[in-house]
Copies of this chain bind each other. A is one copy, B any other.
Amino acid sequence: MTQWVYRFGGGKAEGRAEMRVLLGGKGANLAEMSNLGLPVPPGFTITTEACTHYYKNGQSYPAGLTDEVASALAEVGGLAGGIFGDTSKPLLVSVRSGARASMPGMMDTVLNLGLNRETVAGLAKLTGDERFAYDAYRRFIQMYSSVVLEMDHAHFESILEGEKDLKGAELDTDLEAEDLQRIADLYKAKVKKTLGRVFPDDPHEQLWGAIGAVFGSWSGQRAKTYRRLHNIPEDWGTAVNVQAMVFGNRGPTSATGVAFTRDPSTGERALYGEFLINAQGEDVVAGIRTPQSITRRAREAGGSKRSSMEEAMPESFAELSRIADRLEAHYRDMQDVEFTVQEGRLFMLQTRSGKRTAKAALRTAVEMVREGLISEDEAVLRVDPAALDQMLHPTLDPKAPRSVIVSGLAASPGAATGEIVFTADEAEHAASEGRDVILVRLETSPEDIHGMHAARGILTVRGGMTSHAAVVARGMGRPCVTGAGSLKIDMERRTMTAGGVTIGAGETVTVDGGAGKVYRGRIPTLLPELTGDFATLMGWADKKRRLKIRTNADTPADCRIALTFGAEGVGLCRTEHMFFEAERILAVRQMILADDVEGRKAALSKLLPMQRGDFTEIFRIMAGLPVTIRLLDPPLHEFLPHTQAEIADVAAASGADPHKLRARVQALSESNPMLGHRGCRLGITYPEIYEMQARAIFEAAIDIGVELGKSVALEVMIPLVGFKSELDLLAEKIAQVAAAVAAEKGTAPIYAIGTMIELPRAALRAADIAKTAEFFSFGTNDLTQTTLGVSRDDAGSFLNEYLARGLIERDPFVSLDTEGVGELIEIASERGRKTRPDIKLGICGEHGGDPDTIRFCESVKFDYVSCSPYRVPIARLAAAQAALKSARERD
């Protein structure tokens, strides 16, 4: 028989840390901490299998679950010294979700469950603290009603405010026991009036309601959004943790807090966190009260006068420090813990791997290797390659003049500039129009996640370093400033004001999440330093990886950046971008408007020296590393003006006949340019274009070969091949140009000829095409467009909805569709290798910088991946991880 409930507490547990799939992360770690003998309030975990069963069976619980829960509850009571539902020694419990992957703030929690008119009286008597008991009661009603009964919490806030006004009370703590008792009654009356049903008094009914709410929240919209953003499958399900309550709100010797075993922003090895005296757990995370530091040092650094835990509760602090060290050594990773101090006694409520910035991840990984805690391989596997992104982008130029609007907490590092918006929906809308925005909120909540994702940076008035905004922003790699308390937001006027300066919606600000500051306008930025921990970890990664990392670079500047990031060659040099420069576009247009081959050749002869210059510089910079040059790809109409006004302008500027220009624009216009007259089709119908390009490439290669004293590792790439005959024809033409250049220069250019595989037909016919092609470069952008029949330019109108509704798991233009496009790539690789065992295979679509795609590329044993310069380090790390994982799977 399936066991649906696993117990923990009293120094032992039925579960273990490894059972995270079954018990969820929180449940597995509570069990583990119990086994370690740490002070964990007793409890039990209802398994994720119960959740899966629940959804597979029309939302009904498995048989036997009720009995198992009842029996576990009795045992918990025994350990905690109470009885669930008993009026004299009432056991109160918390009910929390706990999914396999950590999902902060996403799932609902109910505290103080088990209270009713009778048990609250028992609790008051037992604790001798009537005020505490009734405060717990009214909190429970409020939380339960909002989470389980789905009532708007504004109802309860207005009752609470009303009572405070009546009593002339300013703070909640000014209310007395009888006030709180009356508030509880008013709450219950409100529930009855609003929902037409009585608030449940039976503790068991309360418990099953809460369990149902946790399961229900798994399919709630905000959980779904989080899972979509973090690629968590729908069918994992969540566990439910039921645990005896401990109270951080039993007076000045009680407290609740969260802590990290290392600084999650910097990775520094020091206990780091926040706590609130006389408060319940949710008060910290919710960001409603601004909490105090755990350590004295942090308090002093922050300039706060409110005493730290180290100072206020030295014994509990010392025990927490010891436990933190023990947990880190045990889990061999930085931990994020939740704790409560009840009347001087410390309880651990949670431990998990701590979310951290990329900088912190790097430092932690590198230092843990030095501390002997983990191996180099583990260090490489510990850092999320995608998270490196936040380190690889520019930071504010320290010399740039700036004008601070407001300061707050440095909640998530990085710098971002954008126009301010005040709601998540506005952020999403503006981002969809391609505008950069900074999301400004009083505080954020899970409902804001889509806007946070859309924003370049986030600014909140309330909340600490572990508030919702801070945690989520770090996870997403968005620069974030929290706790900017001096900022006033006027939602009606759509302005924010600080220090007498008012900024309206749409005005530009710059957020520096590393410094906790917000500036007016746009501040210039500097490239990141890529030394220290970064260089160390990258060095380890480079030792582990098999895939070469190249870059997609069209200009000398791109090539230089990519080299500093560690690129080992150019995987894609798009020659069309070179045609758009002001002095060239004229000649390009002359070429397009020419009436015959001679006219085209005359115009192309003007382009030849410029084009040769482009390649000369790139070859010089790359200094013998491989360079793949793709011949002209886009349809010619991309080089022509489009609107009537543009046509008139261009005609006037170039001296062309506007009628002729218009006629040519019209003749070249296409219904579906993506599937039109481009790529090698151009090379075939206008052979003189590729001839000019090939000549420029070969002449440059020979010159630089002499200059460098070694030959350029040149690869000439033909785009959009669908038929072997296309490649054959063009390869022959290019060979003729090579022969002509050889005859003129006295040196034969050395080059490989290859093709993009970016059409399904090319993938299928790879065996044939490989007879001529010496390399394949998978153009996954176009291959995705054709395989899925989706135009990237037009996909916005439905792809977002597909993602939101779970029809597809990931944006196929971000992470390779391995089931569809991936199968074509596998087919092409296999067939290409069958014809030509040493064929060079790589990827040059934008997917080349996506870690999941790189994992796929490792699995099909590509020679290299090529990505944008800024993603080169991400690719290096991802390639190392892919190699390590692939080696582990083989073992």
Contact = CB atoms under 8 A, between A and B. Distances in A.
Contact of A808 (B670, B725, B817): B725
A116 interface: no
B675 A807 contact: no
Nearest to A782: B789
A731 to B, nearest CB: 13
A675 B672 contact: yes
A782 B798 CA distance: 19
A760 interface: yes
A602 B237 CA distance: 40
A765 B675 contact: no
Interface of A: 670-677, 681, 684-685, 720, 722-723, 725-726, 729, 758-761, 764-765, 782, 785-791, 793-794, 797-798, 801-802, 805-808, 817, 819-821, 823-824
A677 B765 CA distance: 29
A798 B684 CA distance: 8
A782 B786 CA distance: 10
A798 B677 contact: yes
Contacts of A798: 677, 681, 684-685
A807 B760 contact: no
6 contacts: A670-B791, A671-B793, A672-B673, A761-B787, A761-B788, A782-B789
Contacts of A758: 789
A791 B672 contact: yes
A616 B821 CA distance: 42
A818 to B, nearest CB: 11
Contacts of A801: 684-685
A637 to B, nearest CB: 10
B785 A675 contact: yes
Nearest to A670: B794
A344 to B, nearest CB: 55
Contacts of A672: 672-675, 791, 793-794
A371 to B, nearest CB: 47
Contacts of A670: 791, 793-794
Contact of A723 (B681, B722, B723, B808): B808
Contacts of A821: 761
B675 A674 contact: yes
Contacts of A824: 760, 764
B676 A794 contact: yes
Contacts of A787: 759-761, 764, 786
Nearest to A726: B807
A890 to B, nearest CB: 27
Contacts of A802: 684, 723
A761 B725 CA distance: 25
Given A726-B807, A786-B787, A677 B797 contact: yes
B760 A791 contact: no
Given A681-B798, A685-B801, 8 more contacts: A671-B674, A671-B793, A672-B672, A674-B791, A675-B785, A677-B798, A684-B802, A761-B788
Contacts of A794: 670-673, 675-677
A786 B760 contact: yes
Contacts of A761: 787-789, 817, 820-821
Contacts of A807: 684, 723, 725-726, 729
Contacts of A725: 806-808
Contact of A675 (B759, B764, B789): B789
A722 B821 CA distance: 11
A351 to B, nearest CB: 37
Contacts of A819: 764-765
Contacts of A677: 794, 797-798
Contacts of A722: 788-790, 820
A789 B807 CA distance: 25
A676 to B, nearest CB: 4
Contacts of A674: 671-672, 675, 789, 791
Given A723-B807, A807-B726, A817-B761, A791 B675 contact: yes
B760 A685 contact: no
A820 B684 contact: no
A744 to B, nearest CB: 26
Nearest to A761: B820
A817 B823 CA distance: 20
A868 B723 CA distance: 29
Contacts of A681: 798
A224 to B, nearest CB: 14
A768 to B, nearest CB: 8
Contacts of A673: 671-672, 794
A789 B786 contact: yes
Contacts of A817: 761
A806 B819 CA distance: 35
A731 B681 CA distance: 40
Contact of A823 (B726, B764, B820): B764
A137 to B, nearest CB: 44
